[in-house]
Amino acid sequence: MSRARIFIIRLLINLNEEIFFYPRLKKIYDGINRNQKLNLLIDVGVNRGQSIRFFRKINPDIEIFGFEPNIRLFNNLINKKIKNLKIFNIGCSNISGELVFKENVIDESSTFEKINKDSKWLQKKAMIIGKEKDKLIKRTYKVNVVRLNEFIISNLTDRMIDVIKIDVEGHEHRVLDGLFGNHKSRIRFIQIEIHDDDLYENQNEFINNILKKNGFIEVFRVKHGFGNFYDLIYKNKYVKN
pLDDT the model gives residue 66: 98
Q: Where are the beta strands (DSSP E) in 89-241?
A: 91-93, 97-104, 137-147, 161-166, 187-195, 216-223, 229-236
Q: Tell me the pLDDT of the chain averaged across its residues.
A: 91
pLDDT the model gives residue 122: 85
Tell me the per-residue pLDDT of 145-195, one tens digit each, with 9 for 90 and over.
Answer: 999 999 999 999 889 999 999 999 999 999 999 998 766 779 999 999 998
Tell me the per-residue pLDDT of 111-123, one tens digit each, with 9 for 90 and over.
Answer: 999 998 888 888 8
State what percent of residues in the chain have pLDDT above 70.
98
Span 231-238, average pLDDT: 95
What are phi and psi for residue 55, nearest 5 degrees? -70, -25
Residue 28, pLDDT above cutoff 90: yes
Span 189-205, average pLDDT: 90
pLDDT the model gives residue 158: 86
The whole-angstrom separation of Cα 34 and Cα 58 is: 10
Tell me the per-residue pLDDT of 83-133, one tens digit each, with 9 for 90 and over.
Answer: 999 999 999 999 999 999 999 988 888 999 999 888 888 888 888 888 888
Q: Give the sheet arrangement for strand 97-104, strand by strand.
A: 91-93, 137-147, 97-104
- C-alpha 177, offset from chain centre: 15
Span 195-208, average pLDDT: 89
Report the DSSP pairing between strands 229-236 and 216-223: antiparallel
The whole-angstrom separation of Cα 58 and Cα 196 is: 29
Closest by CA to 178, choosing from 139, 152, 141, 143, is 152
Is residue 86 within 8 A of residue 66, CB to CB? The reply is yes
- C-alpha 78, offset from chain centre: 18
End-to-end CA distance of the chain: 50
Q: Give the sheet arrangement for strand 161-166, strand by strand.
A: 85-88, 63-67, 40-44, 161-166, 187-195, 229-236, 216-223
Residue 1, pLDDT above cutoff 50: no
Burial of 31-40, coded b for 16+ CB within 10 Å and e otherwise, reads ebbeeeebbb
The whole-angstrom separation of Cα 146 and Cα 151 is: 7
